Amino acid sequence: MKRAGALVLVLIVGVTVPRAAAPTITIDASTAAGTVSPLLYGLMTEEINHSYDGGLYAELIRNRAFLDDAASPAHWTAIQGEGAAAAIALDANQPLNATIATSLRVEVTQASSGHAAGVANEGYWGIPVKPNTRYRASFYAKTAPGVTGPITAAIQSEDGKTTYASGRVSGLTQAWKQYEVTLSTANVTPTAKARFVLTVDRPGTIWLSLVSLFPPTYRNQANGFRPDLLQMLIDMRPKFLRFPGGNYLEGDQIADRFEWKKTLGPLTERPGHMAPWTYRSSDGLGLYEFLLWAEDMNAEPVLAVYAGYSLKGAYVKPGPDLEPYIEDALDEIEYVAGPPTSKWGSLRAKAGHPAPFTLNYVEVGNEDFFDRSRSYDQRFAQFNQAIKARYPSLQVISTVGFEHPENQRVRSVTPDVVDEHYYRTVDAFLKAARGQYDKYDRKGPKIFVGEWGAYETPFEPWNPRSRGEAPTPNLRAALGDAAWMTEMERNADLVIMHGYAPLLVNVSPGARQWRPNLIGYDALRVYGSPSYHAIKLFATRLGNEILKASAADTDVLVSVTRDSRSRTMYVKLVNAGPVAVPVQLDIVGASLRPDGTAITLAGDPQDTNSIDAPDRVVPKTSQLTGVKSGFTYTVPPNGIVVLELGTR
C-alpha cells in the first residue's frame, strides 16, 4: 500500500491541479460479511507481577501463614524499643494444623503500658490506609501458660508514631483459636506508608498463625477482591476469563503446578505453593475465587487444565502415567460445571455456589510446544478423548508452537480451537495486521489468541536490563496493539477469543517479573496504560456483525463492525504514522444518521501513563456532524479512533 504522505498538491506552471483525493475506505453495509464471536474480547490472567497476592486479591498481610520462607519470618519484624523487647521466630513445633505446619513464636521479654512489644507486618509494599474505612483483622493465636493477652491489633505509620486504627482481643488460651477485630480509620489522609502490628503490654510468649487484614472488598465478598482493580477489569467488559495461566498453570516442576484441589475451602486448608514467577502464592485466590471473579465481570471461565508438562522440562508420559492427571482435570471440570449433587459440584455448592458455572471451553496445558520430548500431541489426544467422552459439548483448546503457529499444531487429532500467543514488536504487529489471518483455513480449528501484547522495544520482558523501564507500555505500543485488534476483529469469525498478557502489574520496586503489562497499581492507586484504553475502547464498541471494509492507498488500518440491534456501526481506524491522514469513508448499503461520535486516543507516541500521571494518554470524545457516505475523516497522527455511526 502507498503511504498517505505521498498525497501532495501538484503544481504545474500556470495550471493548478486539484488536491489529490483522500484515500478511500469503502464499507459494505448492505450485508454482514461474518459474525463477530460473542466472546471475542476477554482477559488472560495468572499469578505474575503480584497480580493476586499484592494485587487483585485484597488480603493486605504479606506472608500471612509464615510459609513464604522456610528460614525466617519474611516481611515480619519484631517491635521493640525503649522499655520493650521481643524476639520472633518460625516454630515448627507449634503448627496450626497439618497444612499450615509452622507458626510464628513471639517472645516478649519486656513490655508495659505505653511500651508495647510484638510484631509488625510490612504488607505488600505498605498497608493502604484510607479515610473512614473499616478493616477486618483476624488471626489465630495461642499462648504459653499464664498468658491471656490482651493483644492489640493496629494499623500504624511505618515508624509506629501514628496509629490510624486499633482494636483489642483478650482471653487467649493455650489452644489455637481465631480472633477477629474490626479496625476503623477516621478521616485520615490516605497513605501506604503504614504497617500492621500485633502487640502486648506485658511479657509472655504467643504463637500466631494465619494473620489476615482485609479492607472492604468488591461487593463485600468474604476473601474477596480489591474494588478499584476489579472495576478496571469490569469496565473492559470482558466476555471470558482465561485462568490460571500461563506458566502459573504449569509450575517450574510438576509438584509446583496449579493444584486446584489444594486451593479450595477454608484458608486454614490452603498451603499455598511455589509459583514460577519467583514467589510463593498464598492460593487465597483459588479455583473458587477465579470463578467468582469471572462471574463478577459477567464473563465466562476459560479453564486451563494442567496437561503434564512443567517449565523446567519434566513431563508425564502419555498413557497410564497420564491417567491421574486426566482424572484430576475431569474432577476440576465437574467442580466448575457439574451439578450440585455431583462429588465435586457439591464442594462448590458447599462453598456457596450451588448453580454450576457456565463452561464452554477447556484448554489443555499452556505453551506445551516447549516440551522437548514432543509428547504433547499424544498427551493432548488423551485429554481430548477423555474430556469429550464425559462432556461432549465442551470445546477443547490445544496450545500451538510459537514460531509458526499455523504449522506447529497437534496432528493426531484436530482440536476445536488452538491457542496462539503473540509477543511482538509494534512493527511486527503492524505487518501482521495486513492480513495474517487471510491465509488461514476457514474449515480448520477456531483461533484463540490467548496471550498477546505489543512491545515498543525488542521482546525481552524478563531481561534484567529492561527492569528500569516503565512497567506498562507507551502509546506507540498501543498503536501496535490497536493495529493487531483490527486484524482480529476483521477475522472475528475465525478468531473467537483473545486476551492481552500480562494483565496486571504491581509497580512497586521489585514486584514485577515482566514488562510491559496492561494495568499498573500500587497499594493505594491504579491506572490503565494506553493499551488498556485502546482495548477498552475497542471491546466496548463492537456489535455482532463484521462488515467488509477495503482500504485503498493508505496505511491506515481499519475494521468495521455493527450492532444489528441498535444499528450502530463502529469504524475503527489506526494511523501509526507521524502525519494526519484524511480518509474518505464510502459507505454503501446503509442510510447514515448525520451525527456521530469519534473517540480518539492519540498523542506523542512516547507518551505513557504511570502511577503518578495516570491520565496522560486517555481517550477523548468529540461529536461528528454532516456524516454521510463519502465524508472525510482525518485520522490524527499516532491515532487510534473509533467512529460510532448510527444508521437508519
Other residues' Cβ atoms within 10 Å of the Cβ of residue 203: 16
Assigned C-alpha cell, 604: 506523542
Instruction: Confirm or reject binding of residue 46 to ligand AHR (CB under 6 A).
Output: yes
Task: Give Cα 254 distance to the centre of its chain.
Answer: 24
Instruction: Confirm or reject binding of residue 366 to ligand AHR (CB under 6 A).
Output: yes
Instruction: Confirm or reject binding of residue 391 to ligand AHR (CB under 6 A).
Output: no
Nearer to ligand AHR, 300 or 451 (CB): 451
Min CB(446)–ligand AHR separation in Å: 19
Instruction: Confirm or reject binding of residue 501 to ligand AHR (CB under 6 A).
Output: yes
Q: Which stretch binds ligand AHR (CB under 6 A): 163-171, 241-249, 313-321, 604-612?
A: 241-249
Assigned C-alpha cell, 559: 475494521
Q: CA-to-CA distance for 327 and 488, rounded, in angstroms?
A: 35
User: ω into residue 639 within 30 of 0, thus cis?
Assistant: no
Nearer to ligand AHR, 63 or 366 (CB): 366
**How far are the Cα atoms of 139, 227, 527 from residue 214, in angstroms, in the given order?**
12, 12, 22
Q: Which stretch binds ligand AHR (CB under 6 A): 107-115, 231-239, 242-250, 323-331?
A: 242-250
Q: In angstroms, what is the C-alpha Rg of the chain?
A: 28
Q: Among 393, 371, 363, which Cα is nearest to 316's?
A: 371
Instruction: Confirm or reject binding of residue 246 to ligand AHR (CB under 6 A).
Output: yes
Q: CA-to-CA distance for 108 and 436, rounded, in angstroms?
A: 67
Assigned C-alpha cell, 494: 475465525
Instruction: Confirm or reject binding of residue 55 to ligand AHR (CB under 6 A).
Output: no
User: What x/- string results for residues 62 through 101 when contact with ligand AHR is judged by CB under 6 A?
Assistant: ----------------------------------------
User: What x/- string results for residues 325 through 364 when contact with ligand AHR is judged by CB under 6 A?
Assistant: ----------------------------------------
Min CB(331)–ligand AHR separation in Å: 24
Residue 440's contacts (CB-CB under 8 Å, 6 or more residues apart) are: 406, 447, 491, 494
Q: Which stretch binds ligand AHR (CB under 6 A): 71-79, 239-247, 252-260, 329-337?
A: 239-247
Q: Which stretch binds ligand AHR (CB under 6 A): 244-252, 255-263, 300-308, 522-530?
A: 244-252
Q: Which stretch binds ligand AHR (CB under 6 A): 159-167, 243-251, 488-496, 622-630?
A: 243-251
> 3-state DSSP call for residue 150?
coil
Min CB(151)–ligand AHR separation in Å: 41
Min CB(366)–ligand AHR separation in Å: 5
Binding-site size, ligand AHR (CB under 6 A): 11
Q: Which stretch binds ligand AHR (CB under 6 A): 87-95, 105-113, 159-167, 245-253?
A: 245-253
Nearer to ligand AHR, 245 or 286 (CB): 245
- How does strand 24-28 pair with strand 581-588? parallel
Min CB(308)–ligand AHR separation in Å: 16
Q: CA-to-CA distance for 594 and 111, rounded, in angstroms?
A: 77
Q: CA-to-CA distance for 199 and 78, rounded, in angstroms?
A: 10
Q: Which residue carries 485502546 as its cell?
A: 534
Instruction: Confirm or reject binding of residue 121 to ligand AHR (CB under 6 A).
Output: no
Min CB(246)–ligand AHR separation in Å: 3
Interface positions, 428-457, toward ligand AHR (CB under 6 A): 451
Q: Which stretch binds ligand AHR (CB under 6 A): 84-92, 159-167, 240-248, 257-265?
A: 240-248
Angle, CA 246 vertex, CA 240 and CA 248 arms, to 5°: 115
CB of 571 closer than 8 Å to CB of 585: yes
Instruction: Confirm or reject binding of residue 513 to ligand AHR (CB under 6 A).
Output: no
Nearer to ligand AHR, 245 or 405 (CB): 245
Instruction: Confirm or reject binding of residue 47 to ligand AHR (CB under 6 A).
Output: no
Other residues' Cβ atoms within 10 Å of the Cβ of residue 552: 13
Q: Among 22, 44, 5, which Cα is nearest to 449's?
A: 44
Instruction: Confirm or reject binding of residue 252 to ligand AHR (CB under 6 A).
Output: no
Q: CA-to-CA distance for 383 and 402, rounded, in angstroms?
A: 21
> 3-state DSSP call for residue 289?
helix
Q: Among 98, 149, 6, 137, which Cα is nearest to 552's?
A: 6
Min CB(399)–ligand AHR separation in Å: 9
Instruction: Confirm or reject binding of residue 367 to ligand AHR (CB under 6 A).
Output: yes
Q: CA-to-CA distance for 448 and 318, rounded, in angstroms?
A: 25
Q: Tell me how long the chain is.
A: 648
Task: Give the footprint of ligand AHR on this chain (CB under 6 A).
Answer: 46, 48, 245-247, 366-367, 451, 501-502, 514
